[in-house]
Amino acid sequence: MPVETQRQQSDSEIERLDIAATIRERLESEYNWKVLEEYPSNLALGPNMRERSQELVEDLAKSIASMGQMQECNGDTLEDGRTRVIAGQHRYWAVELLNQLIEKHNSLNPESTLQPMKLRVRVADRELGPYEMLDLQITENLHKDLRPEEEAGKIAELFSFYRAVVGEKATVADFCRRVSRGETKVRNAIKFVELDEKVKQLVDEGALLYWIATKLSKVPGKKQFGVAMKIILYNLEGEEIDTFIKSILGEEMPSLF
């Protein structure tokens, strides 16, 4: 069997594993964990997994205000004794927002003040290194039941986090091993998140298959949505899609219609 075929089969077998569950079990055995509640202002924040979304913060704040904090954040214990939040930072910002609103309410209503909220965090007993922080993010974000486009978003965010915490030593190959995903899948994930938002919406709505969308990364951004719509309109498949995209790039004339 050719070496490349063997490698692809090996990648496929690895990707069937629930890597998040495997890492979670290892972290459970290597560290002692406790759950604590603390005001966000007394907590440190680790590197950001993703860009802060104010819309998500506000939605989480509404949910926490009505139902409480359903899911704990995850973090570690710094050498100076402070707790650092690594995974679940939008929950941190949501509770912080709620406390700002509570403080405003209390200043306007001194006769009926409300108690500020604490954030619930599951904390390791020691400070985590860069790779352990990545592992913690994997356990929270990378699950077996994600749709391809959802998994792509998580992989791309994890890769960005990985580069931020590991620095110059970061490589795609090492990252792929750590998240148990093939290099092609990781590179396609990165391509997908950089596509035109309207193309990604087509995938989310089920009008365009994920694997077809990744091929559109070769097309200039302003043309991607139009090309996607033509692929859908003409019901192109397989090599027809490749030929059509090459024609858009001026590499050859199409012979599809």
The pLDDT value given to residue 17? 56
| Nearest C-alpha neighbor of 75 from the set 132, 156, 22, 30 | 132
Per residue in 178-232, pLDDT (tens digit) is 898 899 999 999 999 999 999 999 999 999 999 999 999 999 999 999 999 999 9
Average pLDDT value for the chain? 89
- Partners of residue 76 on adjacent β-strands: 84
Per residue in 12-45, pLDDT (tens digit) is 444 545 788 888 899 999 999 999 999 999 999 9
CB 126 within 8 A of CB 163: no
What value does the mean pLDDT take over residues 138-165? 91
Distance of CA 15 to the CA centre of its chain: 17
Residues with Cβ < 8 Å from 56, sequence gap 6 or more?
Answer: 90
CB 135 within 8 A of CB 23: yes
Q: 184-191 long-range contacts, Cβ below 8 Å, gap at least 24? A: 184/11, 185/11, 185/15, 185/155, 186/155, 186/159, 188/152, 188/214, 189/151, 189/152, 189/153, 189/155, 189/156, 189/159, 190/155, 190/156, 190/159, 191/217
Q: Which residues of 31-44 are buried (b: 16+ CB within 10 A; e: fewer)?
A: beeeeeebebeebe
Q: Which residue has the tokens 């069937």?
A: 16
